[in-house]
Amino acid sequence: MAKDKNSPSKVEGYKQESRLLRGTIDEVLRDPEKDHFEESDLQLIKFHGSYQQDDRDLRKERRAAGLGKAYSFMLRIAIPAGQLSASQYLDLDRMADEFANGTIRLTTRQAVQFHGIIKSNLRETLRQINQSLLTTLAACGDVCRNVMATAAPLKDSIHETVRETAHAIAADLRPATKAYYDLWIDGQKELSSMETNDSEPFYGETYLPRKFKAGVTVANDNQIDIYSYDAGLIGVIENEELVGWNVLAGGGLGMSHGRPNTFAQIADKIGFVAIEKGVDAIRVIASIYRDFGNRNDRKQARLKYLIDTMGLDQFKTEFRKRCLFQVQNWREIPAVTINDWMGQHEQGDGKFFYGVFVENGRVKDSESIKMRTALRQIAEELGCGIVVTAQQSLIFQDLDAAQVDRVKEILSTNNVPLVETLSNARRYSMACPSMPTCGLAVAESERVAPEIITSIENKLEELGLSDSVMTIRMTGCPNGCARPYTADLALVGRRPGVYHLFVGGRLAGDRMADLYAADVKVEALLETLTPLLTSYAELRKEGEGLGDFYQRTLERSEPRRRVTGKEVPTYDEVQPKLYQLGAR
């Protein structure tokens, strides 16, 4: 029978009947005959930080041999503000071999993922993660996900407040259910630092309509791409003091190829609140979403769709009504800038931090580059704190000058390229995991991205564009996990070997790119890009990024705030304009 479009989605029912996220997870974990979960538990384990996956490379072969899928689990560890101690990192490094596929995956949201954990190891892996005082709770699921903060470990009071606020939001919106501890650590709450309960005072039995993402940063540093989230706080600085937060709501990058009413969108400006009201402001936004978000159609359930249906003014009115504190108008702030914080920086207390670029966030040892060995050695020898960045890389902090030299030495010994030797094309690139673990992938991403970057890198060098700072991002489907739509240049998977090409975002992450060329075969990528890149090389102004050049060519007065991916590609519109500008 067809589903009534006004009735709650199946997942709402699973949540409601789950006894606060228990379902039959325990029974399945105890059953040695079962190597995977069925539909309702499969949705519930997400709240516990896990996705059931299967090795997609093996599907065909196994099917031909009459075998079922090769099931395994991805585990995501939520790390507010990306901050890890050296010993926590070393625990994760050990677990990567003991339970996972020998790699650690740093995510675009400052979290860490393991892939390839088999069901029989799931409970022990989660137990050990908790023993390290880390958690997978709410890393996935219909809740507030990992809360981000600019990665720069600067030791001034402004950055301290940013980090503390991110931690406070994470604690405030963390689910209260005891189920997590009962299931994974035999109810041993003392193994964890978190408060639990057997009720959900904020979320209630059905939690949020879907995921909810939040981040905190300051006006001069959009390292975390804050305009892409459901809710964000941008610290407003006046006379070198943090005076309060500009509040954003309704950003989001997921969209579906086949659904015309899905879109990626830059967040809306909601207002300005006092410093001590930042956490409350995010909770109020989450509460409006909890109470009014779409629970019938999960494809329309994100906050951005609620704001679209409700209207921005109505949303703002509801926000002000629920805030039991003063909400002022948005404060004008300087255009955001972004720093990836790679390489060496002073941290403001006489010490330094050092950012290490990890290609696509995959910490592994390859034949040539011993990235995992190098990072382990640095953490072991120097015992320094680590920050996972929003660009899938990491930072070692609290180093003295001699330790910085030692970090560089260890990296070089293990063949890890130092940031100054990387091309801009590679340094600012990101790709999502995609095949073979992601069940939603329709095209390759992480596995082919390094090679694609090499070809773009060569083209840029040939055109004299190596100095251009350019974000190049790639995903294996339109869901937007590597935030493609805010990049200068992006490839978004359509089907194997075929990508939509987006152009026109920028490093600052504050506008959407355009669909530039549709359904481009990977072999035709450079040919499609060359006219634009050639004109960019000839006609760019000093310091002008590719996205900015593209926008100037199109004479856009207002930045694009929304993209559906179903627009008419701009390729044919752009070419004559390039000639008008003087391209040869």
The set of residues, in sequence order, having a beta carbon less than 8 Å from that of 198 and lying 6+ positions away, is 20, 176, 177, 178
Write out the DSSP string of 185-220.
STT-GGGSS---BSS-TTT-TT--SS-B-EEEEETT
Cα distance between residue 207 and residue 16, in whole Å: 9
Number of neighbours of residue 129 by Cβ within 10 angstroms: 25
Is there binding between residue 228 and ligand SRM (CB under 6 A)? yes
Least distance (Å) between residue 400 CB and ligand SRM: 31
Which of residues 434, 551, 553, 570 is near ligand SF4 by CB under 6 A?
Answer: 434
Given a contact cutoff of 8 angstroms between Cβ atoms, the answer to whether 86 and 384 are in contact is yes
Helix (H, G, I), strand (E, B) or coil at 499: strand
271 contact, one of ligand SRM, ligand SF4, none, CB 5-8 Å limit per kind: none
- Residue 253 interacting entry, from ligand SRM, ligand SF4, none, C-beta within 5 to 8 Å by type: ligand SRM
Residues labelled as active-site residues: 76, 145, 211, 213, 432, 438, 477, 481
Query: Distance between CA atoms of 42 and 39, rounded to whole angstroms?
Result: 5
Report how far residue 427's alpha carbon sits from residue 270's, in angstroms, rounded to the nearest whole number: 33
Burial 59-92 (b: 16+ CB within 10 A, else e): eeeeeeeeeebbebbbbbbbbbbbbbbbebbbbb
Residues in the chain: 584
513 binds ligand SRM (CB under 6 A): no
Indicate the residue among 248 and 491 with the shorter CB distance to ligand SF4: 491
Check residue 477 for interaction with ligand SF4 (CB under 6 A). Answer: yes
241: helix, coil or strand?
Answer: strand
Interface segment toward ligand SRM; rule CB under 6 A; list 103-111, 486-494, 549-557, 573-581: 103-111
Look at residue 254 and give the partner it binds from ligand SRM, ligand SF4, none, a contact being a CB closer than 5 to 8 Å depending on partner kind. ligand SRM
| Residue (of 82, 23, 69, 17) closest to 48 by Cα position | 23
In angstroms, give the least distance from the CB of 453 to ligand SRM: 15
Site string for ligand SRM, 294-333 (x = CB under 6 A): --------x-------------------------------
Which residue among 49, 251, 476, 565 contacts ligand SF4 (CB under 6 A)?
Answer: 476
Residue 46 partner contact from ligand SRM, ligand SF4, none using kind-dependent CB cut-offs of 5 to 8 Å: none
Least Cβ distance, residue 442 to ligand SF4 (angstroms): 7
Does residue 563 belong to the site contacting ligand SF4 (CB under 6 A)? no
Select the residue whose beta carbon is closest to ligand SRM and give its number: 254
Tell me, residue by residue from 442 to 471, as one string, x for binding to ligand SF4 by CB under 6 A and - for no binding: ---x--------------------------
Instruction: Give the per-residue SS3 of 345-369.
Output: EECCCCCEEEEECCHHHEECECCCC
H-assigned helices in 99-212: 119-131, 157-172, 179-184
For residues 247 and 491, which CB has a smaller minimum distance to ligand SF4 in the complex?
A: 491
Q: Interface with ligand SRM by CB under 6 A: which range of 105-113, 177-185, 232-240, 270-278? A: 105-113
Residue 245 burial (CB count, 10 A): 29
d(CA 63, CA 533): 45
Site for ligand SF4 in 186-205 (CB under 6 A): none
| Nearest distance in Å: CB 95, ligand SF4 | 22
Q: Are 250 and 304 within 8 A, CB to CB?
A: yes
Positions in the binding site for ligand SF4 (CB under 6 A): 432-434, 438, 440-441, 445, 475-477, 479, 481
Sites of contact with ligand SRM (CB under 6 A):
51, 74, 76, 107-109, 111, 113, 145-146, 213, 228, 252-254, 302, 361, 392, 432-433, 437-440, 479-483
